[in-house]
Amino acid sequence: MYAIVEIAGHQYKVRKDQKLYVNRLEGKEGSKVSFDKVLLTDNDGKVEVGAPVISGIKVDAKIVEHLKADKVMVFKKKRRKGYQKLNGHRQYITLLEITGVGKGAAKKSAAKKAEDKAAKEEAPKKAAPKKAVKAETKKAAPKTAKKKTAAKKETAAKKETAAKKETAAKKETAAKKEDKKS
């Protein structure tokens, strides 16, 4: 069974016992979190699509650790002007382990959301602080980690084949020398 769930503004395909990097979430390492914005579920071919979300379904997860993503280098240059600028950025991320996908207490949270919505309508509206808005727009999941591991595997395989070719060439030259001697 898998589900498409919205976590911190991004959509992820999740399964039970899967590890997943997402934007930094609030909570301590080892604490449990649940997400009830499930957009689609597939239970052995039985697909259920929400409009926009499926009520009564939730995804439970455990926060494994908080860390930083790989460094992203931003280089700016203008030709013939002598302008060069190099900046680096490391995104804060959270490693989640999905502990369960399925029916749960999402109905309770939906009722709480309805109550919160009613309370917000009664309360006067305030503008969100600019810092919070900027922090939400900059979040992104790491994509370079997969590329780096694939590149490492590829270079290791190339080195292995090069070493095999080298040993084969040495054996051939040794055999030729022995033939010349005898």
Q: In the chain, where are the structural domains located?
A: 2-72+86-121+130-142
Per the CB < 8 A criterion, the answer to whether 39 and 11 are in contact is yes
Considering the entire predicted model, what is its pTM? 0.53
Q: What is the pLDDT along the chain (182 residues), one digit of tens a residue?
A: 899 999 999 999 999 999 999 999 999 999 999 999 999 999 888 999 988 899 999 999 999 999 999 999 999 999 999 999 999 999 999 999 999 998 864 444 555 566 666 666 666 555 555 555 555 555 555 556 666 777 788 888 888 888 888 888 888 888 888 887 76
